[in-house]
Amino acid sequence: MQRALRKAIGSKLATCKTRTAISRLSCVFLILGMAEGCEREPSSQASSRPAAQRIISISPNSTEIIAALGAADRLVAVSDFCVWPESITKLPHIGGLFDTNLEALLTLRPDLIVLRGQQKAVEDLCATNGIILFRDTTESLDDIYETLHQLGELLDRKEQAAAVEKRMRQRLMQITTAVADRPRPRILMTIARNTDGLTSVMSAAAGTFVDDMIVAAGGENVFSKSALSYPTISPEAILMSNADVIVEAMPEVKLSPELEMKLLAQWREFGALPAVKNNRVHVVTDDNVTIPSPRIADVIAKLARLFHPGVEIE
């Protein structure tokens, strides 16, 4: 199983190298989401240890959860893909999952390392040096709540974790209530692709936080039944999707009017799609659009406005 996983990840990485910088972060993020076999720090052990004070996060969503818990000041380094809150941009960056700077990790003397995916070198370093390793397995909306409480326990922020979850659930309830009586449009959401053309287009299926976002925002994911969690979809499959709305998630892009025109023009070859015919193709560049953290409620609210124009959503 692990050999097959490594082969799949290697294949995805090879594909990523052919893509532009606009799509690269989304692609790498999704590779991390493919990792399996990760277990969280057992709560019985976590509760017997002092709360972590020097944290290195190699997981963008966990970095945001730590910040939401009011513990961003305990972060001493983050991965190259962590973008929020602004205070963490001044911290040392130690690479990503596949190019982690191990020497820097030790120099910074962490008592907790948060890892998304699998990296044997980091795992061995933690085991050898007595550093607590938290394996972030967040993939769905419910997983965000679970990770929130697991990290809340490790950081002695249980009450804050409960408060963050309550706010998230209240916000999501407001959104789902606002769109509950509306017909669900068919949604095609791209999360990585070659920006020079509609090739190597990646979407998401049921069981992912991307699908959870679409459903919570009042849409129907056209690729929810795909056999792969993150399928690469063909032009033929795009045409057959009959999508009412297309959302392009491109968190790294600086969207100039010229680039937006270029991206939207590429969809004209799919003029039979309702989304194209009705000018309902949207490029979303928010930095958190592909990060499953408490800020996902803001992304869902934005999607709901795109899916259901005219509905008032705070």
pLDDT digit string, tens, across residues 194-220: 888 888 899 999 999 999 999 999 999
Query: What pLDDT was estimated at residue 227?
Result: 94
Count Cα neighbours of 131 within 13 Å in the Cβ-side half-sphere: 27
Average pLDDT over residues 150-167: 96
Mean of the per-residue pLDDT values of the chain = 86
In 3D space, the residue among 4, 26, 6 whose CA is nearest the CA of residue 232 turns out to be 26
What pLDDT band is residue 5 in, cutting at 50, 70 and 90? Answer: very low
Answer with the residue of higher pLDDT: 313 or 210: 210
Query: What pLDDT was estimated at residue 48?
Result: 58
Q: Which tokens belong to 234? A: 């063909």
Rounded Cα–Cα distance for residues 226 and 176 (Å): 24
pLDDT higher than threshold 80 for residue 52: yes
- Tokens 């070198």 sit at which residue? 121
Cα 153 to Cα 47, 112, 135, 149, 226: the distances in Å are 7, 13, 14, 6, 36
Amino acid at residue number 172: L
Q: How far apart are the first and last CA of the chain?
A: 45
Answer with the residue of higher pLDDT: 34 or 287: 287
In 3D space, the residue among 137, 239, 250, 141 whose CA is nearest the CA of residue 189 turns out to be 250
Rounded Cα–Cα distance for residues 99 and 115 (Å): 13
Edge-first strand listing for the sheet containing 281-284: 220-221, 186-190, 245-249, 281-284
63-122: pLDDT as tens digits: 999 999 999 999 999 999 999 999 999 999 998 888 888 998 899 999 999 998 888 889
pLDDT higher than threshold 80 for residue 44: no
What pLDDT band is residue 17 in, cutting at 50, 70 and 90? Answer: very low
Instruction: Express as a percent the part of the chain with pLDDT over 90.
Output: 69
DSSP string, the chain: -HHHHHHHHHHHHHHHTTS-HHHHHHHHHHHHHH--S--PPPHHHHTTSPPP-SEEEE-HHHHHHHHHTT-GGGEEEE-TT---SGGGGGS-B---SSS--HHHHHHT--SEEEEES--HHHHHHHHHHT-EEEEE---SHHHHHHHHHHHHHHTT-HHHHHHHHHHHHHHHHHHHHHHTTS---EEEEE-B--TTSS-SEE---TTSHHHHHHHHTT-EETTTT-SSSSPEEPHHHHHHT--SEEEEE-TT----HHHHHHHHHGGGGGTTSHHHHTT-EEEE--TTTT--STTHHHHHHHHHHHHSTT----
pLDDT higher than threshold 60 for residue 49: yes
Cα 271 to Cα 140, 188, 194, 197: the distances in Å are 33, 15, 20, 15
